Structure 1
Amino acid sequence: MARLDRVKNITGLVEFYGKNPRLRELVNLVVVARDHAKASKDVEEQAEMKKMYGFIEQYKLEGHIRWISAQMNRIRNGELYRCIADKRGVFVQPAFYEAFGLTVIESMTCGLPTFATIHGGPGEIIVHGDSGFHIDPYQGNKAAELLVNFFEKCKEDTTHWEKISKGAIKRIEEK
């Protein structure tokens, strides 16, 4: 859930998702970013859209990915978080750097297990393994494996998702 800027690394998320067959087998990917039906005048955004379409084609992600236009309505954003939480999904914030991390706080508030960049604010917001997980966006393969491990553990232990969800809510309430 971000602008389609290079620093937000949404295309990196699509790439590391696409490269990991086990992750694709376990879960689908929902991306909330720029309205891809509209042409952009921003050169960086155009380049990121081109990369995104390239990864979708390269990794044959049709049927595994849903690209939803960014929402400007906060209530609708909250509903998106809750919809993903109701399906026992997670939130991934793969930015190369994030000064603060509002989406991380929003997702954790909704009880979503959150995987977010270690570079910047999210590194301080999340307690790794307790209220979410740190990922290094420069190491997409490791981030994908962390997600695979999480979802496999959730299959083995039906309480694991709930434990991280409650940890996220608790961390937000405490801080």
Structure 2
Amino acid sequence: MYQLIEEYKLDGHIRWISAQMNRVRNGELYRIVADTKGAFVQPAFYEAFGLTVVEAMTCGLPTFATIHGGPGEIIVNGVSGFHIDPYQGDKAAELLVGFFERCKEDSTHWDKISEGGLRRIYEKYTWKLYSERLMTLAGVYGFWKFVSKLDRQETRRYLEMFYTLKYRNLAKSVPLAVDGDTEQ
């Protein structure tokens, strides 16, 4: 890639951003790219969910991401971003070039894809929607487990993952009542 950047004199037009652990800085990086009418490209061979895709789209970035895994569901191709196949680099490059050429011809094209990405996030990927789905899933799981006595391994795995990622640290921060120390 560095050779291609040098060959086509793209220095200053492409930025490699290594893995970032600071969420505030991540948001700022996405905003800087969006403010300059850039795009986010995530060419992973496979991405289980696609949190970086959701983050980039939340910042209004037109997003190009792997079709393999979660981004294939997150992005509506051509409406809220673009699917790329990392195994077909030439086609991915053509799609990127085509996007930016269209942006030059139609000054509203970048904004259309940006707004499409934001709409998709607000329709499908907010914490409010996620928690509502989780509660529905928990209710359905409880009902079916009670009625059928089935042990739904997938649902249990999902709930355990949610607990581990979201609630375990929250639960640790809740102070325990000590005998004689409870309020009435």
Using structure 2 for the length normalisation, give the TM-score.
0.63
2:16 counterpart (28, 31, 39): 31
Pair 1:108 & 2:57 matched: yes
Matched ranges for 1:140-155 at <5 A = 140-155=89-104
Matched-pair contact (CA < 8 Å) for 1:20–1:144:
no
Identify if the C-alpha distance between structure 1 residues 79 and 168 changes in structure 2 by more than 3 Å, giving closer, same or farther.
Answer: same
Matched-pair contact (CA < 8 Å) for 1:113–1:161:
yes
Tell me how far apart the structure 2 counterparts of residues 19 and 122 of structure 1 sit (CA, whole Å): 30
Between stretches 97-106 and 70-79, larger displacement belongs to 70-79
Higher helix share: 2
Report how far residue 29 of structure 1 moved: 1.2
Report how far residue 71 of structure 1 moved: 2.5
Tell me how far apart the structure 2 counterparts of residues 127 and 148 of structure 1 sit (CA, whole Å): 19
Aligned-residue CA RMSD (Å): 2.2
Tell me how far apart the structure 2 counterparts of residues 16 and 169 of structure 1 sit (CA, whole Å): 34
Higher strand share: 1
1:136 counterpart (85, 104, 113): 85
SS of the equivalent of 1:128 reads: coil
Moved over 6 A (4+): none
**Which has the bigger relative contact order, CA under 8 A and spacing at least 6?**
1
Pair 1:158 & 2:143 matched: no
Larger Rg: 2
Using structure 1 for the length normalisation, give the TM-score.
0.66
Report how far residue 162 of structure 1 moved: 0.2
Q: Which amino acid aligns with 1:114?
A: T
Q: How many residues align?
A: 124
Tell me how far apart the structure 1 counterparts of residues 71 and 2 of structure 2 sit (CA, whole Å): 21
1:75 counterpart (24, 28, 31): 24
Identical pairs, percent: 69
Matched-pair contact (CA < 8 Å) for 1:17–1:144:
no
Structure 2, gaps ≥5 residues long: 125-184
Structure 1, gaps ≥5 residues long: 1-13, 34-69
Q: Which amino acid aligns with 1:173?
A: Y
Q: Which amino acid aligns with 1:31?
A: W
